[in-house]
Amino acid sequence: MHRAGQRKLKRLVLWLSVLAGVVLLFYALVGYFGSADMFGDHPRWRGMNRGPADFGLKGETVAFASQDGIPLKAWWLPAEGTGHAVVIIAHGIDHTRQVMLPRAAFLVHGGYDVLALDLRGHGESGGSAVSPGLLEARDILGAIRYVRSQGDSEPVVLLGLSYGAAASLIAAAQSSEVKAVVSDGAFTSGKILSEDISEHMVHDSHANLLVRALFAVSLCPGAAGATSLVYRLRSGVDLGPDLLSVKSYASGVKVPVLLISGGRDWIVPTARARELFAAIPGNGKSLVVIPDAVHDTTYSTAPAIYANAVLSFLGSALKAHASPFVNAGASGSER
Model confidence, pTM: 0.90
pLDDT value, residue 16 = 80
- SS3 of residue 159 by DSSP: strand
Whole-number pLDDT of residue 334: 60
Cα dist. 168→33, 130, 188 in Å?
27, 15, 13
Cα 249 from Cα 174, distance rounded (Å): 9
State residue 13's pLDDT score: 78
Apex 246 CA angle, 161 and 88, nearest 5: 35
Amino acid at 58: K
Give the DSSP per-residue string, 254-322.
Answer: -S-EEEEEETT-SSS-HHHHHHHHHHS-SS-EEEEEETT--TT-HHHH-HHHHHHHHHHHHHHHHHHHH
Per-residue pLDDT of the chain (335 residues; tens, 9 = 90+): 577 777 777 787 778 888 888 888 888 888 888 999 999 999 989 988 899 999 999 999 999 999 999 999 999 999 988 888 999 999 999 999 999 999 999 999 999 999 999 999 999 999 999 999 999 999 999 999 999 999 988 999 999 999 999 999 999 999 999 999 999 999 999 999 999 999 999 988 888 888 888 888 888 899 999 999 999 999 999 999 999 999 999 999 999 999 999 999 999 999 999 999 999 998 899 999 999 999 999 999 999 999 999 999 999 999 876 654 444 333 456 65
d(CA 329, CA 335): 14
Question: Residues 35-69, buried b or exposed e (16+ Cβ, 10 A)?
Answer: beebeeeeeebeeeeeebeebebebeebebbbbee
**CA-CA-CA-CA dihedral for 131, 142, 60, 73, to nearest 10:** -40
Which neighbouring-strand residues pair with 129? 39
- Distance (Å, whole) CA 236 – CA 39: 13
159: which residues sit within 8 A by CB, 6+ positions away? Answer: 87, 88, 89, 90, 100, 103, 107, 168, 181, 182, 184, 310
CA 285, 314, 172, 34 dihedral sign is positive
The pLDDT of residue 322 is: 67
Q: Are strands 86-90 and 113-117 parallel, antiparallel or unpaired?
A: parallel
Asked if residues 279 and 317 have their Cβ atoms less than 8 Å apart, the reply is no
Q: Map out the domains of the chain with their CATH numbers.
A: 44-189+245-334 (3.40.50.1820), 190-243 (no CATH)
> Which residue type is seen at 143?
A
Residue 210: predicted pLDDT: 84
Strands of the chain, DSSP E = 60-65, 71-77, 86-90, 113-117, 156-161, 178-184, 257-262, 285-290, 333-334
The C-alpha atoms of residue 296 and residue 102 are separated, in whole angstroms, by 13
